[in-house]
Each structure stands twice: as C-alpha cells, then as structure tokens.
C-alpha cells in the first residue's frame, strides 16, 4: 500500500532475526533488492516471502540473495514483478531451497520459463502449490509434466492463461501422479484442455475442491463437469463462466446433487444454458453457498432462482445478477436483503430498471457489511434515496459504481460523509447530475478515492 518502505524492512531485519514470514507485496515500489538483501543477511530462518506487485524493484538480485542465505524457504510469491524476476532468480531458489512447497510465478512477463520450472521440479520434491498463470506461453506441457512426475504431493495447480501451451497432456499427467490435488485452474487455455483431461482429474483426484474452467469454450462440456460432480463430493468452488454454452443445467444440477459443500459458483455468460432450474437446485442442495455469479444470462435467470437462493443460502456474501436484462427485479434483491445479512458484494448493473431504490434501501437496512455496490445502467431507477441509504447504513463501503444511475450530487456527498473506507467511485455519464462541487467534497473527505 506504499506505507511500508525499504528502510522499515531493513529495521525489521536488524531487530528480528527470527523472522519467518515477510510480505512486502503491493508496496508501490518502495521495497527493493537492498531491503531483501538485508533480510537475507539477518533472517536466515525465513520461510515465507511475498514480493508480488513490487513494481520491478525486486529483481533476480534480491531473490538470489534470499536463496543463498535462507535455505529453509518454503513459500515464494514473485508474481507481477514486471519481468524483473526471471529464470535466473527462480533457478537459484530451486537449487538452494529444496524445502520449497509453494511457488507463484504468475504474470512474470514471460521471463520465467520451462527452464526454471524444470529445475524446481527436479530439486523441490515437496512442492504442493504451483501457479504459472499468465506466463505468456513460456511455461508449457514439458515443465508441468515434469512437476507431475517429480512432485507427487502437488495439491494446487494454476495453468490459466498459458496461451495453449499447457494442454491435456500435462493435465492428464497431473491426474495420474498427483492424486492429492485439491485445486485446479485451467481457465483460458485456448481450448487445449478438454473433457478428456478434466475427466481424468475427476476419476483420480477425489479430493478436488476447486475447479475453474472459465473461458474454455467447446472443449470442456457437461460430460466432464458431471464426472467431477460424481467423483469429487468435496467440491467447493466451481467457475464455468464464459464457456459459450458448452456447460448447461445438466452439469450444474449434477454438482448441486453431489457436492453439498459448494461455496462458490460462477456461471456468468453461459449463453443462457444455465437457468433457474439448476440454480434453484443449487439453492436447495448447497446451503453453504457464499458466492453466486449469474451475470450475462439475460433470458435464463430470473427472480425465481434468486428468491430460492435467498430462502436457502443464508451465508451468501457475493451476488452478481448484472446483465439479466430485467428478469431479476426488486423482488429477488429484496428477498436477498431479508435473508442474507452477510452480503458484502452486490452487482445489479444493467437490470433494465427492474432493480430500484426499493430493494437497494432494503439492502442498506439489512446488509451492513456491504463493501461493493454496482448500480450502473439501471435506467435511472436507483437514485439518491437508495444510494444515500447505503452510504448511511453501510460504512464499510469501498466500491460504488453509479454510472448511468439516478445519482446526483446528493448521493456523492452522502458517500463522502459516511464512507471513509471508499477506494473507488464511478459517476461517469452522470449527465450533469454529479458536479465538480460534490467531487471536491468527496476528495477532501476521502483523499485516496
């Protein structure tokens, strides 16, 4: 968050030689190699290091310093380091930190490749978690297969956004050798992962709890998702969004019947193939559900299933019904308000005026933990009355999208007065109803927004 600096980290290193865990992620580039070198020098028992999002200030030099002094390192996150951590740094870690269990090299600008991951596979047999998401096609079947063969304790694998370079071959190898797998993300893999591999995972990895196949259109269908449902009863997280209609009510109903511990379901933009029918079944069978995204299913999801969710899923925290084009209305959202007091995230964007001040006021009165509200493009039906009520009763609000709503200066001033934790406010396309006067009030009250 930018408040932690390299000087502070050096001071910690100087005075806390027994330090085991250091997280300097998202420090706005204020922590770099010099601070890491100080930590490595003084804190040789370090086990956990997170330098994600350090704006390129942490490079191979800092990671090598840690590798050379901190042989007990078990967890390392170098994601989003702007290409400054490369094969060089990761190879050093693999060669000198054989106890490594958790490695995240996602979004490293293609600078971490098969070469480094192969060394990790060979030198770190205790690896349980690997994230190579967004590695620009530089991590391929070759490295992931090696991990499967040499790291049989692997439990978490994320190969999403690997530009088609990770395919059925590697995922089937994971199924064959890593039977303790509990988390698999093959989203946006250019349709190179298919029913064959997911079915293999289902049949051999009975402990699976998390499966994401978002953006894998056509190649993964009801066939393999139904197999997962039948063989993996502990499933808690399922994301089948953006699957272009290849996943339908058939699969979601199977999940509802066989996976009662489901907590997270994303069926966004499934071409209206997931409907009220299966969502209602989820409501009845998966009463621990906390996250539901049915957005983009304009003709398939209506108040009927949302009311069913409200009736049975009292722990719901996240609901997205955007782009349901008027089929979800005040009736559904008011039911959620009345039955789901732990709600934190609500998106009713583009509901064609079906959602109005009435249900938003109900949310404000019954859901005080609300942090995220999107009422954009609601045909002017959500106005100052509803937004002001949210501001007054939901002080933890951090995100508000009021674009093309009925909001005016009055709503913005209410948010400024009552929501000190606000981080994002969108009032674009306000058609002159929100002026610079209220924006100035907001910026004075919440400078970081």
Residue 448: pLDDT band (50, 70, 90) is confident
Is 299 or 202 the better-scoring residue by pLDDT?
202
Are 356 and 328 contacting, i.e. CB atoms less than 8 angstroms apart?
no
161 inside domain: no
| Domain extent at residue 7 | 1-100
Q: Say what the pLDDT of residue 430 is.
A: 78
| CA atoms of 32 and 130, how far apart (whole Å) | 24
- Mode of pairing for the β-strands spanning 48-50 and 210-212: unpaired
373 inside domain: no
54 inside domain: yes
Q: Say what the pLDDT of residue 3 is.
A: 82
Q: How many domains does the chain have?
A: 1
Q: Say what the pLDDT of residue 378 is.
A: 95
| CA atoms of 357 and 373, how far apart (whole Å) | 13
> What number is the average pLDDT over the span 367-386?
97
- Mode of pairing for the β-strands spanning 210-212 and 372-374: unpaired
DSSP string, 401-447: E-TTSB--HHHHHHHHHH-TT--EEE-TT-TTSS-HHHHHHHHHH-T
Q: How far is CA 15 from the centre of its chain?
A: 36
Mean pLDDT, rounded, of the chain: 97
32 inside domain: yes
217 inside domain: no
Q: What CATH number has the domain bearing residue 92?
A: 3.80.10.10
Residue 1: pLDDT band (50, 70, 90) is low
439 inside domain: no
> What number is the average pLDDT over the span 327-350?
98
| Dihedral (Cα; 170, 174, 175, 177), 10-degree rounding | 130
Residue 384: pLDDT band (50, 70, 90) is very high
pLDDT in tens, 36-79: 999 999 999 999 999 999 999 999 999 999 999 999 999 999 99
91 inside domain: yes
pLDDT in tens, 193-241: 999 999 999 999 999 999 999 999 889 999 999 999 999 999 999 999 9
Percentage above 70 pLDDT, the chain: 99
Partner residues linked to 401 by β-bridges: 374, 426
> What number is the average pLDDT over the span 127-150?
98
Q: Which residues of 345-370 are buried (b: 16+ CB within 10 A; e: fewer)?
A: bbbbbbbbebbbbbbbbbbbebbeeb
410 inside domain: no
pLDDT in tens, 149-163: 999 999 999 999 999
């Amino acid at each position: 968050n930018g408040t932690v600096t390299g000087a502070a980290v050096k001071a910690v290193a100087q005075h806390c030689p027994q330090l085991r865990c250091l997280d300097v992620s998202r420090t706005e580039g204020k922590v770099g190699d010099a601070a890491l070198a100080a930590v490595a020098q003084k804190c040789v028992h370090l086990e956990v290091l997170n330098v994600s999002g350090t704006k390129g200030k942490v490079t191979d030099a800092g990671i090598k310093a840690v590798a050379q002094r901190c042989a007990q390192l078990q967890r390392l996150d170098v994601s989003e380091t702007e290409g400054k951590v490369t094969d060089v740094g990761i190879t050093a870690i693999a060669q000198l930190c054989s106890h490594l269990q958790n490695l995240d090299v996602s979004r490293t600008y293609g600078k971490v490749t098969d070469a480094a991951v192969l060394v990790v596979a060979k030198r770190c047999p205790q690896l349980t978690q690997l994230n190579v998401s967004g590695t620009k096609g530089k991590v391929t079947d070759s490295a992931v297969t090696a991990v499967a063969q040499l790291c049989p304790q692997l439990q978490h694998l994320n190969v999403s956004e690997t530009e088609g370079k990770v395919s059925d071959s590697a995922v089937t190898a994971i199924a064959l050798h890593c039977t303790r797998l509990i988390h698999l993300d093959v989203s946006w893999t250019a349709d190179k992962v298919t029913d064959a591999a997911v079915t293999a995972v289902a049949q051999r990895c009975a402990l699976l709890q998390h499966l994401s196949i978002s953006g894998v259109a056509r190649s993964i269908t009801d066939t393999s998702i139904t197999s997962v449902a039948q063989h993996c009863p502990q499933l808690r997280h399922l994301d089948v969004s953006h699957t272009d209609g290849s996943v339908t009510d058939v699969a979601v109903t199977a999940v509802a019947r066989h996976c009662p511990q489901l907590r997270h379901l994303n069926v966004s933009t499934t071409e209206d193939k997931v409907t009220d029918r299966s969502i209602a079944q989820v409501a009845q069978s998966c009463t621990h559900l906390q996250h539901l995204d049915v957005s983009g299913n304009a003709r398939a999801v209506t108040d009927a299933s949302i009311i069913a969710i409200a009736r049975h899923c009292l722990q719901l925290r996240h609901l997205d019904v955007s782009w349901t084009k008027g089929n979800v209305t005040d009736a559904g959202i008011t039911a959620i308000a009345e039955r789901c007091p732990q709600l934190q995230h609500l998106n009713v964007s583009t509901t064609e005026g079906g959602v109005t001040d009435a249900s938003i006021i109900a949310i404000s009165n019954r859901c005080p933990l609300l942090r995220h509200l999107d009422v954009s493009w609601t045909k002017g039906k959500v106005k100052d009355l509803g937004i002001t009520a949210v501001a007054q009763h939901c002080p933890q609000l951090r995100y508000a999208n009021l674009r093309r709503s009925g909001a005016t200066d009055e709503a913005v001033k209410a948010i400024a007065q009552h929501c000190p934790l606000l981080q994002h406010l969108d009032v674009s396309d306000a058609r002159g109803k929100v002026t610079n006067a209220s924006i100035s009030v907001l910026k004075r009250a919440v400078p970081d927004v």
